Chains A and B, each alone.
Chain A
Amino acid sequence: MNRLARPEIIHVGREQLVEAIAGQLALGFRLALVAAHEDDRAGADATFRIVHVLLGTAGERVEVVVEIPRSDAWLPTLAGISYPAGRFEREMRDLYGIVPRDHPQPYRLVRHGHWPTSFHPMLADADPTPYFGSHAGFPFAEVTGKGVYEIPVGPVHAGLIEPGHFRFSVVGETIVRMYQRLYFVHRGVEKLFEGREPADGIALAERISGDTAVGHSLAYVMAVEDALGVEVPERDRLTRALLLECERLYNHVNDIGALVNDAGFGIVNQHAGRLRETLLRHNARLTGHRLLRGAVRIGGADLVAAPDLDLVASVAAEAAELAKIATDHPMVANRLNTTAVLPLERARTLGVLGYVARASGMTVDARTEQPFVDLGPAFRTVTADAGDVRARFDVRVGEIAVAAGLVADLSARIAAADVAAPVAPSGGGGAGLGVVEAWRGTLVHRVEVGSGGVLTRVKVVDPSFHTWPALGIALADTIVPDFPLANKSFNCSYAGNDL
């Protein structure tokens, strides 16, 4: 299982696109990534090449590729057969100007009202300093009726979180509808990758989302290795799996405290903060960086020191105890139970990922579906059925225990594994895919390396891109004061979503 099979590549014309994708979806594959590429940039016959990546549950990878002329840039919409596809199409239209024809939601997604309408930032000839005009209004579906009022929240929030605007339509205290406006932090990350040496991209990938440094850098590096045909020794793959679990540990511990804190039970948050700090200092000893930056490189991964297994085990035990204190507390349990339910069928339709999906009974997990190393008997997928805040809390608690077990198991296997010589990346170009189960869920990077050995296109899909829309669905019949709890239980990334 050193390298996964090359993806099956299907070329279709745009007339057959819907049929081709529907056929793959019927096989049980899920649409994980859609990336547009600008080919033959200078010529008169310039084309857009759009790659649809579908992932199976047993390591299968399929790419459906369609080429369209730039002068007639439209695609038949896939929104009717796949909800995530509809969102990818809206993103593509805003960034590339490719129009999804007959889209049921023909609204902007990434683009804000003050962007010039002809400005598509991913195009090579996009104006680097466009004129950003005044705000062109903020249309959203207004809920009318007796006693309905609106609460606008954000984009600047009171806590140390990123910007996002939430517009609640409320009757009394019950949320009728919640509209979210994200994409306030567009940094042009995907474009920043272009033209870099592959090794130069790692530092950028680590900074896509601060709390997912390993997830993003690993997905990126694996995509580059896939593109360049680099073989990664077993020991390094074990190290990478270990790093991913370390990242999962500190983030889940932090979330447990933050969730309970939103229910007003601050003491658990204080102790979770202490545990998180213990883990961050451990991370610093492990890799030289508190957020585990700098450990992943092309062809391998390095640790500065072996993990302190007693420390990890004791933190995991304390976290389990903290979680038990919280859920045994009748007032906290009352706040968490039955709040913001995401039913299984809605979770499936929306294509949510990570702990949100697993708390609604889905088993989606790249560690079993797209594994890069055999995790052995120490690994199991933690799921719950209720789909409420409590279920998302419990899945995190379960994953902390699994992650701590994996750290111990993996570090023993790393110690036993042979040290292989580092593999130098070969020249040449190609396309590659990297799929990892980061702490928020399945993270996919698709990289294309040009013949000159520089990156020509990097497409990043953070699990939050798939999970954000589910928040509004789960809020139906939830009361306004419970929104922070629901939001925290999803804990979607703003920066990972908005590149």
Chain B
Amino acid sequence: MTIASVAVVLIQLVLAVAVTPVLIGVMRTTRARLEGRVGGGIMQPWRDLRKLLAKEPTRAPGSTLVLTAAPILLVASSLLLCALIPLASTLALASVPGDLFVVVSVLLVGTVALALLGLESGSAFGGMGSSRHMVIAALVEPTVLLSIYALSVPAGTSALAAIVQARRADPASLLNPVSLLAIFALVVVVIAETGRLPVDNPSTHLELTMIHEAMILESGGRDLGWLELGSWLRLTALLGLVANLALPWGIGQDAAPLTLLVGIGAITVKVLVLGAVLAAAEVFIAKLRLFRVPELLAGSFVLAFLSVSASYLVF
């Protein structure tokens, strides 16, 4: 472990926390403007977060430690994700490799924390949300593994930083079918994992249709603030991963301040643009009937599987 890699991790954490509310703001504003609304402004999620974190949480009598711990666990796992995924630089902590299996496991920690929180409230909505959430998680995790695995075959390593580095060194590999199929599968599962349309509607008020929102219905104040931040950070981390896998340019490869600065700028622009594109696409799609979501996710699994098969044929 070197000073430089610790510095990179710290920079990535600060960057992620700073960019995340802006990312959500950009996505909401993009959607609002395309729909002909003014919207709350790019900084509104940040203001919401500040307000929520300053508020005392209201907890039901009889609630257990889960209600307190789950938001912290979610934020911690999301922050760990931001540290492990190469966002601004491919310099990784030597002792904790940003291995794809580690990343998927950390992702799952947050997922389980949310599902337990949903059950904790004891209301039917929470349980309903948790059950739907776990169904989707069970379909999403294998695809995440498979699609990144397909990309790891040409690089010969399962360390994410090394995969990104290898892809940057060989730009021709970005456009081969293995890569395109895997990236497409990954985009679909990122959408499902982060609760965006067409899988979940983050802006709905209808409890019966909710997935993510149903689990956090009973949380308030500081608890809700941490839950929101944790979920948003996951979106930033996963979008950052997709962005750096699809377009690895700009990411820093050493600890020189200039390359780090370029890396910070590059990932910020990439994540915000990708978020805006995602939000723009959401304007044109509706929510799938719940029982058709597995079809969508199975489709993305097939793409990821094809990608893995192809990667052995090509390389």
Chain A binder among B31-39, B96-104, B138-146? B31-39
Which A residues from 287 to 324 make CB contacts under 8 A with B?
A: none
CA distance A484 to B287 in the complex (A): 13
Would you call A480 and B286 a contact (CB within 8 A)? Answer: no
Given A270-B35, A271-B36, A334-B292, answer yes or no on A153-B286 (Cβ-Cβ < 8 Å): no
A480 to chain B: closest residue by CB: B208
Query: How near does chain B come to A158, taking the closest CB pair, in angstroms?
Result: 4
CA distance A480 to B124 in the complex (A): 12
CA distance A252 to B141 in the complex (A): 43
Q: Classify the interface of chain A: helix, strand, loop or mixed.
A: helix
Would you call B198 and A479 a contact (CB within 8 A)? Answer: no
Indicate if A43 sits at the interface (CB-CB under 8 A).
no
Within 8 Å by CB of B287, from A150, A173, A271, A335, lies: A335
Residues of B close to A483: CB separation below 8 A: 208
Would you call B287 and A267 a contact (CB within 8 A)? Answer: no
Number of interface residues of A (CB under 8 A): 29
Which residue, B127, B208, B209, B291, has most C-beta atoms of chain A within 10 A? B208
Within 8 Å by CB of B208, from A266, A267, A481, lies: A481
Would you call A267 and B288 a contact (CB within 8 A)? Answer: no
Indicate if B194 sits at the interface (CB-CB under 8 A).
no
Indicate if B283 sits at the interface (CB-CB under 8 A).
yes
Chain A binder among B164-172, B173-181, B199-207, B301-309? B199-207
Chain B binder among A208-216, A257-265, A376-384? A257-265
Would you call A484 and B286 a contact (CB within 8 A)? Answer: no
Residues of B close to A260: CB separation below 8 A: 286
Indicate if B50 sits at the interface (CB-CB under 8 A).
no
CA distance A331 to B288 in the complex (A): 6
Query: How near does chain B come to A243, taking the closest CB pair, in angstroms?
Result: 30
Indicate if B289 sits at the interface (CB-CB under 8 A).
yes
Residues of B close to A149: CB separation below 8 A: 124, 127
Would you call A270 and B290 a contact (CB within 8 A)? Answer: no
Number of interface residues of B (CB under 8 A): 29
Indicate if A152 sits at the interface (CB-CB under 8 A).
yes
Residues of B close to A10: CB separation below 8 A: none
Indicate if B232 sits at the interface (CB-CB under 8 A).
no
Residues of B close to A153: CB separation below 8 A: 207-208
Within 8 Å by CB of A262, from B128, B206, B284, lies: B206
Which A residues from 237 to 277 make CB contacts under 8 A with B?
A: 260, 262-267, 270-271, 274
Would you call B286 and A263 a contact (CB within 8 A)? Answer: yes
Indicate if A460 sits at the interface (CB-CB under 8 A).
no
CA distance A484 to B205 in the complex (A): 10
Given A149-B124, A153-B208, answer yes or no on A266-B288 (Cβ-Cβ < 8 Å): no
Given A151-B124, A152-B124, A270-B36, answer yes or no on A331-B287 (Cβ-Cβ < 8 Å): yes
Residues of A close to B249: CB separation below 8 A: none
Given A158-B206, A173-B291, answer yes or no on A267-B124 (Cβ-Cβ < 8 Å): no
Residues of B close to A331: CB separation below 8 A: 198, 285-288
Indicate if A137 sits at the interface (CB-CB under 8 A).
no
Indicate if B149 sits at the interface (CB-CB under 8 A).
no
Query: How near does chain B come to A461, taking the closest CB pair, in angstroms?
Result: 30
Residues of A close to B283: CB separation below 8 A: 266-267
Given A267-B283, A331-B287, A479-B289, answer yes or no on A151-B125 (Cβ-Cβ < 8 Å): yes
Which A residues from 147 to 161 make CB contacts under 8 A with B?
A: 149-153, 158-159
Indicate if A332 sits at the interface (CB-CB under 8 A).
yes
Would you call A263 and B36 a contact (CB within 8 A)? Answer: no
Would you call A266 and B203 a contact (CB within 8 A)? Answer: yes
Given A149-B124, A264-B198, A270-B36, answer yes or no on A158-B207 (Cβ-Cβ < 8 Å): yes
Residues of B close to A477: CB separation below 8 A: none
Residues of B close to A38: CB separation below 8 A: none
Would you call A479 and B290 a contact (CB within 8 A)? Answer: yes
Indicate if A409 sits at the interface (CB-CB under 8 A).
no
CA distance A220 to B283 in the complex (A): 44
Residues of A close to B31: CB separation below 8 A: 266
CA distance A263 to B204 in the complex (A): 10
CA distance A306 to B139 in the complex (A): 60
Residues of A close to B127: CB separation below 8 A: 149
Would you call A159 and B206 a contact (CB within 8 A)? Answer: yes
CA distance A271 to B36 in the complex (A): 8
Residues of B close to A11: CB separation below 8 A: none
CA distance A150 to B204 in the complex (A): 22
Residues of A close to B208: CB separation below 8 A: 151, 153, 480-481, 483-484
Would you call B124 and A150 a contact (CB within 8 A)? Answer: yes
Within 8 Å by CB of A481, from B35, B36, B290, lies: B290
Indicate if A482 sits at the interface (CB-CB under 8 A).
yes
Indicate if A329 sits at the interface (CB-CB under 8 A).
yes
Would you call A484 and B209 a contact (CB within 8 A)? Answer: yes
Within 8 Å by CB of B201, from A264, A271, A482, lies: A264
Would you call A479 and B36 a contact (CB within 8 A)? Answer: no
Query: How near does chain A come to B300, taking the closest CB pair, in angstroms?
Result: 16
Indicate if B160 sits at the interface (CB-CB under 8 A).
no
Query: How near does chain A come to B204, taking the closest CB pair, in angstroms?
Result: 7
A326 to chain B: closest residue by CB: B286
CA distance A270 to B292 in the complex (A): 26
B205 to chain A: closest residue by CB: A158
Which residue, B37, B209, B283, B292, has most C-beta atoms of chain A within 10 A? B209
Residues of B close to A329: CB separation below 8 A: 286
Residues of B close to A332: CB separation below 8 A: 286
Within 8 Å by CB of B204, from A264, A334, A480, lies: A264
Would you call B197 and A481 a contact (CB within 8 A)? Answer: no
Chosen A-B contacts, 19 in total, with CB atoms closer than 8 Å, are: A149-B127, A151-B125, A173-B290, A262-B209, A263-B286, A264-B198, A264-B204, A266-B31, A270-B35, A270-B37, A271-B36, A331-B198, A331-B286, A331-B288, A334-B292, A335-B287, A479-B290, A480-B128, A482-B289
Q: A173-B290, A173-B291 are in contact. List 14 more A-B contacts (CB 8 A).
A: A149-B124, A153-B207, A153-B208, A260-B286, A262-B209, A264-B204, A266-B31, A266-B203, A267-B36, A329-B286, A331-B286, A334-B288, A479-B290, A480-B208
The 6 A-B pairs with the shortest beta carbon distances in the complex, nearest first, are A264-B287, A265-B286, A151-B124, A158-B205, A331-B286, A484-B206
Chain B positions near chain A (C-beta within 8 angstroms): 31, 34-37, 124-125, 127-128, 197-198, 201, 203-209, 283-292
